[in-house]
Structure 1
Amino acid sequence: MLWMGLIVGSFLNVCIYRLPQNKSIIRPPSHCIQCNMRLHLCDLVPVISYLFLRGKCRYCGTSVPPRYVVVEIITGVLFLWCFQVVGLGPELIKVLTFTSFLIVITFIDYDHQLILDKVLIWFFVAGVGINLYIGYPTISDMLTASLTGGGLLLIIAVITRGGMGGGDIKFVAALGLWLGLKLTLLTLFLSFIIGGIGGALLLLLKLKSRKDFIPFGPFIALGAFVSMMYGYDLIRWYFYISR
């Protein structure tokens, strides 16, 4: 499962790089962005090719950004994590697909402060299709969660006069179709906590300054991943300690 994640991560890198530029993720085949030489199979083995070539293009010697390997490793680790938690079955397909979308949305939003509609449309479609196949959440729960989650962020955006972007609103609305009402509300709760902590860390580590815009999408994505994996356990734990 780790290797499957590394391979998928390589494809996600293509999506992260090309989609904001309105380029096809299929054509042209993988190539060096500096010398335009087509990359062969031996150049595309996740992580290993990067290490073997010492992080450089085989043909022109241009340095390859280490971010590509980071995305591959993150995807591989998360896929293995999902498998350990969920096990084999239809639920694993749902979780892996969900995680892949979250990775693409996170890195594009971090790089460009954009959550692309064309990604969200496929996210919507995949969520509805997979949940209808699995049988839960119900259609009514999905619609309620989508309207409630998106609506809450819309209210926040109006009150704060743009403190929340339109992409974030649509992202949470799409998450509602995947998660149902309870887990969507938990996602919002976690994302605000994670966002507060994460924003503080970015400032402390000087990765961002107070004048920089800090995208909220990655924090929503992390909250959504935790909710998908452990949401009902967290809800049961909360009500248990609240008694």
Structure 2
Amino acid sequence: MYKIFPFVNDNNNKNTKKCGDLYMYIYYGIIIFIFGTIIGSFLNVCIYRIPLQESVVYTPSHCTSCGRKIKWYDLIPVASYIVLKGKCRYCGEKISKKYPIVEFVTGILYLMLYVKFGISISIVKYITFISILIVVGIIDFNTTNVYFETTIVGLISSIIFLASYYYIGFPVKTYVYGGILGGGLLSLIIVITKGGMGWGDMEICFVCGMFLGLELTFVMLFLSFVIGAIAAVILILSGKKSRKDYIPFGPFIAAASVITVLLGQNILNWYL
């Protein structure tokens, strides 16, 4: 084949292409991380406002102490917290560290999804899924309540992705079975223990099953109970909880689901 630059050999062309691909891979990774921190900022709004039954869209962001509207340059994820030294620009009230932590962790999780799935429909699905898990898990941890507004968003999202899978000819039965397994098992436990768990936990497991599919739902459920048991023992032994205290199960389901998305198939392969 005729070469425009005959003095450049094929090996150099291949190396140049590899370097270019690596740079683009890193570039997209940075973009995904920044996008994740921005979404994390919105998730903070959801985590704060949903339990208060406030709109997550219409009311501008404001200081919870002085009520002043927060300027756009004070809403830059993570960076604004550092610049402001963790305090409100107007009243000097301390800003909770949980806000930059959620933003940063969301960015890291998005980046991990990008590394695992690349740019594909899977990353879109699991970005949506993990974002919902963050909101549900943290709200349940803070309030011991699972709000229907969050689980219905998860259910609708899962149905949309299943419809897109069905449209392109991808099997969807495993996801339906996953939802039945997750919701059914938790429903059985709730009935047998007469309220040992809440119906909100059942809703979360049903949604998780719809996103994960049958096999990964087994992994998620197993990890949920293992993580929950370990956390309960630590809390009881440390004196922070007694055996009679209610410990929210939603955060453990969320944590187990994130692990399952990232490592679930590896865990299955190792086990099998």
Q: TM-score range by the shorter chain?
A: over 0.9
Q: Please, what TM-score do these two structures have when normalized by structure 2?
A: 0.83
CA gap 1:161/1:16 in 2 versus in 1, 3 angstroms:
same
TM-aligned CA deviation for residue 30 of structure 1: 0.5
Moved more, 41-50 or 200-209: 200-209
**TM-score for the superposition, normalised by structure 1:** 0.92
Aligned with residue 221 of structure 2, among 170, 175, 188: 188
Task: Out of 80-89 and 105-114, give the one that drifted further.
Answer: 80-89
- Aligned residue number for residue 226 of structure 1: 259
Distance (whole Å) between structure 1 residues aligned to residue 52 and residue 251 of structure 2: 20
Q: Which of 181, 200, 215 matches 1:167? A: 200
1:67 paired with 2:89, answer no
Asked whether 1:155 is paired with 2:204, we answer no
Deviation at 1:160, TM superposition (A): 1.3
1:144 to 163, 168, 177: 177
* 2:109 maps to which of 78, 85, 98: 78
Aligned partners of 2:165 and 2:171 also within 8 Å: no
* 1:118 is the counterpart of 2:118: no
**Residue number among 13, 17, 22 corresponding to 2:44 in the alignment:** 13
Give CA deviations for 1:4-35 in whole Å, capped at 9, x if unaligned: 11111100000000011111001211011111
**Cross-structure match for 2:133:** 102
| Structure-1 separation of matches of 2:122 and 2:219 | 20
Higher deviation after alignment, 209-218 or 155-164: 209-218
AA of the residue aligned to 2:116: V
Q: Please list the CA deviations of residues 118-143 of structure 1 after superposition, one character each: whole Å capped at 9, or x if unmatched.
A: 11111001111123224487343332
1:216 to 249, 261, 266: 249
Let me know the Cα RMSD of the aligned residues.
1.7
Decide whether the 8 Å contact of 1:137 with 1:180 is kept in 2.
no
Q: In the aligned structure 2, how far is the partner of 1:93 from the partner of 1:186?
A: 22
What code does the residue aligned with 1:200 have?
V
Distance in 2 of aligned mates of 1:28 and 1:187:
36
> In the alignment, what sits opposite 2:163?
132
| Amino acid paired to 2:135 | V
CA distance in 1, matches of 2:111, 2:246: 33
Q: Using a 3 Å threshold, how does the CA distance of structure 1 residues 190 and 68 change in structure 2: closer, same or farther?
A: same
Q: Which runs of 5+ in 2 are unaligned?
A: 1-31
Q: Could you tell me whether the CA contact under 8 Å between 2:136 and 2:150 is conserved in 1?
A: yes
SS at match of 2:213: helix
Could you say which structure has the larger radius of gyration? Answer: 2
Contact 1:91–1:134 (8 Å) recurs in 2: no
Q: Secondary structure at the match of 1:55?
A: coil
Which of 73, 86, 92 matches 1:42?
Answer: 73
Alpha-carbon distance in 1 for matches of 2:184, 2:81: 44
Give the count of matched residue pairs.
Answer: 239
Unpaired runs of 5+ in structure 1? none
SS in structure 2 opposite 1:142?
Answer: helix
Distance 2:229 2:113 in 1: 26
The answer to whether the 8 Å contact 1:13/1:71 transfers is yes
**Alpha-carbon deviation of 1:69?**
1.3
1:188 alignment partner AA: L
Q: What are the Cα deviations for residues 167-223 of structure 1, in whole angstroms up to 9, with x where unaligned?
A: 001111111211111111221111111111122233455554445321111111111
The residue number in structure 2 matching 1:57 is 88
Partner of 2:17: none
Query: What is the CA–CA distance in structure 1 between the aligned matches of 2:100 and 2:235, rounded to whole Å?
Result: 22
